[in-house]
Amino acid sequence: MLKTTHNLIKDVGKKLGLTSEQIEKLLAVDKIHEFEIQMESGKKHQAYRVQHSNKLGPYKGGIRFHPDVSLEEVQALAILMSLKAAAIGLPLGGAKGGVAVNPKEMSLAELEELSRDYVLNLHEHIGPDKDVPAPDVNTDSQIIDWMVDEYEKLTGDTSKASFTGKSVKAGGSLGRDEATGRGGVIVLRQILNKLAPSQSLGEAVSNRIVKRQAFATGLSISEPITYAVQGFGNVGAHFALVAAQEQPDWMLVAATDSSGGVYSPADLSVKQLAQYKSDGGRLHELNEGRAISNKELIGLDVDVLVLAALGGAVTEKNMHQVKAHAILELANGPVSDEAAKHLESKGIMIIPDILANSGGVIVSYLEWLQNKQGEHWTEAEVNKQLEEYLVKATNRIYDMAQKRSMTLKEAALAVAIERLVKS
Ligand code: NAD
């Protein structure tokens, strides 16, 4: 993963005309904190915090608890965080943390002990103006609330701005739960608004998507945009719920979870699906439309394939099945690099994760701002600011792609790299 991240930066850096010295500087991490957490039970767990760059603002990035956590992975994720913050224009740097542990084998008391010990080891190196961690894989608002509490005890800081992703009662932001899905809707809508048949990137995308753009801008083409969601979890379901509310011209025709899912060319009821999932149902058992497998979903003839489950959903193995005109990457890395190259060569647009799923980090930033200013904003205020950031970021990345004849992924990295190099 680290090698792939380095190669991505090198490739785009070269396209931007950077020297090898400038590229090496971009790849170098500022600090690596590596320590062992010894539990009362006697068990030991390897823990990390990698701080890549704070040129644009305090370090920022999640903490994951997972058996596969390694220094190499945390390092790559820290670099990607710097790039993400820079690509969307946030005044934040990049970091990542992790503990190599299986939290599913731990009691609640052990999880709390692990979370507090992580902060005990790290508190001198983090803080509201130094490094602001957040939840990531297998860490949630409860874990962050324990960490904030521990940080307060150790440092006396009561601002709550030391971490983001807190529960709302402990200083978290309204709108955070749906932010990533909502952000995906804003980005996709903005891209559709930008597409026009005369533009070169528009030509690379199917005529059908371009026709939809005419629809979106008020011309009289009445066919709706069809989309399918792989991974109807927090992000996927919120994407569909916000789309149903704000984009009545978008039609959900298929959705899956890890069990498989349902397909109906005549529009699925998003509310019903979301309710069914939050009641603990498995989508393939839902009595609506017809049942489909995840394999089948990838090959559906829809306008937009929304990938909101896991990394590596589309690879060399199944890329030939894709019929969609565009892919929205809401998960991290759901399309492998080889698959992305192939699909883009066929004119399928990939809206990259670094932009498409950045709603979460933007609202994390807004949470930090509220804590710093001692304020608590309404959900409408948070959503308004989220929209402003994402519209600006999407426009800038889209325009970069046009100007430099790049894919959107390259363009997002190019915007990020330019910001980091200039700072
Ligand atoms: P989640 O656990 O709430 O939802 C994931 C969904 O994917 C579940 O419904 C699960 O059943 C389904 N799933 C798992 N394997 C699948 C498979 N093989 N095929 C189809 N569906 C499958 O997680 P989430 O918070 O919605 O996150 C989804 C993805 O988005 C993850 O990759 C995550 O890293 C990424 N992401 C999340 C956020 C966020 O704010 N939550 C931000 C950025 C990126």
Contact 348, 201 (CB under 8 A): no
Query: Which residues of the chain are in CATH 3.40.50.10860 domains?
Result: 29-168
Residue 55 designated active-site: no
Would the pLDDT of 214 be above 80? no
Which band of pLDDT confidence, cut at 50, 70 and 90, is reported for residue 224?
Answer: confident
pLDDT at 209: 54
Pocket test for ligand 1, best of 257, 295, 318 (most atoms within 8 A of CB): 257
| 257 Cα: distance to centroid of ligand 1 (angstroms) | 9
Contact 171, 148 (CB under 8 A): yes
Q: How do residues 193-202 score in pLDDT, each as one tens digit?
A: 887 543 433 3
Q: Round to the nearest angstrom and report the end-to-end CA distance of the chain.
A: 26
- Amino acid 251 reads M
Would the pLDDT of 334 be above 90? yes
Query: Which residues of the chain are in CATH 3.40.50.720 domains?
Result: 179-356
Pocket test for ligand 1, best of 136, 187, 235, 296 (most atoms within 8 A of CB): 235
Helix (H) / strand (E) element for 368: namely: helix 359-373
Would the pLDDT of 210 be above 60? no
Pull the structure tokens for residue 228: 């399918």
Pull the structure tokens for residue 159: 């601002």
Q: How far apart are CA 265 and CA 343, in angstroms?
A: 24
Nearest atom in ligand 1 to the alpha carbon of residue 260 is: 20
pLDDT at 196: 54
Helix (H) / strand (E) element for 236: namely: helix 234-246
pLDDT at 199: 41
> Which residue in 228, 227, 210 sits closest to 219, CA to CA?
210
CATH of domain 179-356: 3.40.50.720
> Which residue in 88, 35, 34, 83 sits closest to 61, CA to CA?
83
Pull the structure tokens for residue 181: 């899905």
Q: How do residues 16-27 score in pLDDT, each as one tens digit?
A: 999 999 999 999
Contact 411, 344 (CB under 8 A): no
Span 120-140, mean pLDDT? 96
Q: The whole model's pTM is what?
A: 0.92
Pull the structure tokens for residue 234: 């927090």
CATH number among 3.40.50.10860, 1.20.58.1610, 3.30.1370.10, 3.90.1150.10, domain 29-168: 3.40.50.10860
| 376 Cα: distance to centroid of ligand 1 (angstroms) | 28
Contact 201, 398 (CB under 8 A): yes
Those residues whose C-beta lies under 8 Å from the C-beta of residue 153, and which sit 6 or more positions away, are: none
Bin 16: left if φ > 0, else alpha if -120 < ψ < 50, else beta.
Answer: alpha
Please report the DSSP string for 40-107 in residue order.
Answer: TTS-EEEEEEEEEE-SSSSEEEEEEE-TT--HHHHHHHHHHHHHHHHHTT-S--EEEEEE---GGGS-
pLDDT at 2: 84
